[in-house]
Structure 1
Amino acid sequence: MYSLTPGYRVPALQRGLSPVETTLTKINAGIGGAILASAMITPPPVWTFGAVGAAAALLNVAPGHRSIARWAAVGYRRLRERTAPGSMVAQPGTTATWQLYPDHGTMQDPHSRMAFHDAFSRALAFAGGQARTAGIQVHVTHHAAVEEFTAHTQTISVHVPKGLGHAERIIGTLEGEFARLGALTSAEPAPVLEVVERGPGWVGLDDGRYAVTARITGWPDETDGDLMRKVLLGDGKADHKNPLFVTDRSFAVLYRPMPPGQARRSAKWQSAAAEAFTTDKIKQAANEIATGATHGALVQGATLVDIDAYLTVWGDNPEAVTDARWQASLVADRHRIRLDWLTGQQHRAHVMTTPHGASTRKGAIL
């Protein structure tokens, strides 16, 4: 069961809270609870309520795609960082990367695609069940390099954080699972590209190319699981003349499978929040259907998976990459895919469509 949406906006429940945000939220909630408890004995100063409320607003009020606190962090990073810091992809743990070559036509054929997704879901369920806390990350990239012919390269990376189970055993088992998806060969990722130039919404890299990266924040159910085909290969009827499909582009998804216990608790709280905070009858009915589907999948042994998906378009110069961004937006609109072009984070975002994205922490991209 996959989810691109952050859930219901109960206090500080946003997409992929970073460790700092989680800590600040807990501290603020604890202080707020202590103030309310002390009010039963001695009324606290009025300013304490204002301070707790202001902190909660910074963490939760979201003008646009991010909270006020996140916008502040984005601005600070942009001023302080020229390129993606090494610490972003240097998390302690064990990481393995493979190149995967699925059988020809797997993504185009609905039955083959469904079998591929089922096998991949079983691998994610295994990864989620290897620890009591979430932490194992599976990262998939797909690159389309357009020359006389379009060359497609797909990688799968697994990152097991330090101290989280037997890393070699977990990676070895997952390698066996992934080998069933197609031809699997070990690979060594290329070094992270350095940013040498920054512009309005794009970055220039040290290999001479320019890149713009977007986070995919949602796609409709009617895509039927063929998002990769729509984004990378195009719809033969609707997209055959679109300039996007004659430019290089990269697509990546970072999967964070939850342990079974955490998945069940998350599903329970999401269901409770939906009942408590949703007043629209149509949305209530939709939530009930989704809750039933989630419950059935969990009963059958699936797990919930936190997903971050990214799309990078490439160009040889700023004008070309700006035009590629515009064409990508048009294709996304046609297929009802929502994109967030990550204002102020382009110097970091391009890393997420490389295998190095497997070892990033939550909060690397806000």
Structure 2
Amino acid sequence: MYSLATGFRIPVLQYGLSPTESLLTKINGGALAAAIAAAALSPPPAAWPFGVVGAGAALLNAAPGPRSIARWGAVGYRRLREHTAPASMTAARGETVTWELYPDHGTMQNPAKRASFHAAVDQALRFVSDQARTAGIQVHVTHHAITGDYTTHTQTVSVHIPKGLVASPARVLETLEDEFAGLGALMRVEPEPIPTVTEQGSGWVALDDDRYASTARITGWPPRDDGTLIRKFLLGDERPPRDAARDVVPERSMAVLYRPLTQRRSRWLTRIQEAANGAFTTDPIEKEKIAIESDGRHDAMVAGEVLVDVDAYITVWGHNPDSVSAARWTMTRLADRHRIRLDWLAGQQHRAHVMTSAHAVSTRKGSVL
């Protein structure tokens, strides 16, 4: 499947914005249009409307670090006002179902079974994209591992259908349940309540279940993958015994939130991206690279593929600040080895740990900036 990165995309056009950011972007664009119209009707134009619009665009687009200036401001405000994740973060109205999934033994290790597994997930996401005129159905997948004398794995799959998006949510959920049942043993479950944050430290939070958590967003993937990346990243790859012990994170959780776009939206966004890349890219090598990617994307669209907005997170757990800090360091090293970029979400740890639980399936864009 083809995915869209969250956040800043190209000049003026952003994708992956929260509803508030989308509204502010539209207001800023409207103000710019009004300023241009006023300047055309009554020359000479005043400078201050363009200055206001430029300042707004800078706040929304200029990014010192992994977030825009406006997002940094929102992060600071939330950090001062909130001590734990607010209930409104996961309280979206609609139908939500969570299943525990246990894939058949050896699925990730066997290339043929692994390819069939990925194809089945792709088919489910394509089905989701066709169920409404606008995007909105969300699919959330988690993997939790605890390593001791042996490693235990727990996987969940969750689906959230916003209220009023489709006429018969039960039909969609039952169809998806049949799709996921082909991936392995499937059982409906009720997720555990979200733990409350009792203490916040430097890059970690303490929870009321006596655990410490530190969460990162995955912001970059390697350019090429033979299909074994996630297996090696989560289950471990073959390493010499002397290196294996120091590469173990005793307890970790990974989650991916999929937001499939409709085919119409996917095609429109692809055309906009191609036009913008052609207009703003001057490096001939980069232009050729974009052209090759565009050809592949075009072929995928013709074959019925859709774009999927992917938001991925990973949480490491510990029993005290030192253990969770050590686990965070180990996870950073593992990510470097597999060429995965992590953003440890400074100032947002009290919210971020929710994203690797099944409750994250109903979160809206902007819950974690």
Of 192-201 and 218-227, deviating more is 218-227
Q: Kindly indicate whether residue 80 of structure 2 is the aligned counterpart of residue 76 of structure 1.
A: no
CA separation in 1, counterparts of 2:260 and 2:95? 17
- What is the SS of the residue equivalent to 1:208? coil
- Structure 2: give runs of 5+ residues left out of the alignment: none
- What is the SS of the residue equivalent to 1:154? strand
C-alpha displacement of 1:12: 4.8
CA separation in 2, counterparts of 1:353 and 1:244? 21
Q: Which string of whole-angstrom CA distances, capped at 9 and with x for unpartnered residues, describes residues 333-360 of structure 1? A: 1111000111111000000000001000
Task: Tell me the residue number matched to 2:261.
Answer: 258
Paired residue for 2:219, among 217, 220, 244? 217
CA separation in 2, counterparts of 1:201 and 1:115? 38
Q: Which string of whole-angstrom CA distances, capped at 9 and with x for unpartnered residues, describes residues 220-257 of structure 1? A: 13333333213211111379515342410000000000
* Native 8 Å contact 1:232 1:245 kept in 2: no
* Native 8 Å contact 2:4 2:308 kept in 1: no
Aligned AA (1:178): F
C-alpha displacement of 1:147: 2.8
CA separation in 2, counterparts of 1:222 and 1:245? 25
The change in CA–CA distance for 1:243 and 1:4 in structure 2 (over 3 A counts) is farther
- Structure 1: give runs of 5+ residues left out of the alignment: none
Task: Tell me the residue number matched to 1:234.
Answer: 236
Task: Tell me the residue number matched to 1:110.
Answer: 111
Task: Tell me the residue number matched to 2:5.
Answer: 5
Q: Which string of whole-angstrom CA distances, capped at 9 and with x for unpartnered residues, describes residues 183-206 of structure 1? A: 111111000011001000000111
CA separation in 1, counterparts of 2:90 and 2:194? 9
Aligned AA (2:24): L
CA separation in 2, counterparts of 1:135 and 1:365? 18
CA separation in 1, counterparts of 2:284 and 2:111? 33
CA separation in 2, counterparts of 1:354 and 1:54? 38
Alignment: residue pair count: 365
Aligned AA (1:340): D
- What is the SS of the residue equivalent to 1:40? helix
CA separation in 2, counterparts of 1:228 and 1:190? 25
Task: Tell me the residue number matched to 2:327.
Answer: 324
Paired residue for 1:270, among 267, 273, 296? 273
- What is the SS of the residue equivalent to 1:116? helix
C-alpha displacement of 1:297: 1.3
Task: Tell me the residue number matched to 2:300.
Answer: 297
CA separation in 1, counterparts of 2:341 and 2:227? 15
- What is the SS of the residue equivalent to 2:314? strand
The change in CA–CA distance for 1:238 and 1:68 in structure 2 (over 3 A counts) is farther
* Native 8 Å contact 1:217 1:340 kept in 2: yes
CA separation in 2, counterparts of 1:238 and 1:345? 36
Q: TM-score, normalised by structure 2?
A: 0.96
Aligned AA (2:328): R
Task: Tell me the residue number matched to 2:201.
Answer: 199
Paired residue for 1:189, among 188, 191, 211? 191
* Native 8 Å contact 2:248 2:330 kept in 1: no
Q: Which string of whole-angstrom CA distances, capped at 9 and with x for unpartnered residues, describes residues 274-318 of structure 1? A: 211112222222211211111111111111100000000011110
CA separation in 2, counterparts of 1:99 and 1:238? 33
Deviant stretches of 4+, over 6 Å = none
How high is the sequence identity, in percent, across the aligned residues? Answer: 59
- What is the SS of the residue equivalent to 2:141? strand
Task: Tell me the residue number matched to 1:155.
Answer: 156
Task: Tell me the residue number matched to 1:27.
Answer: 27
The change in CA–CA distance for 1:95 and 1:89 in structure 2 (over 3 A counts) is same
Aligned AA (1:208): D
Q: Which string of whole-angstrom CA distances, capped at 9 and with x for unpartnered residues, describes residues 15-65 of structure 1? A: x20000000000000010110011011144321111111011000000011
CA separation in 2, counterparts of 1:87 and 1:178? 29
* Native 8 Å contact 1:228 1:251 kept in 2: no
Q: Kindly indicate whether residue 301 of structure 2 is the aligned counterpart of residue 288 of structure 1.
A: no
Residue pairs, 1:336-351, within 5 angstroms: 336-351=339-354
Task: Tell me the residue number matched to 1:137.
Answer: 138
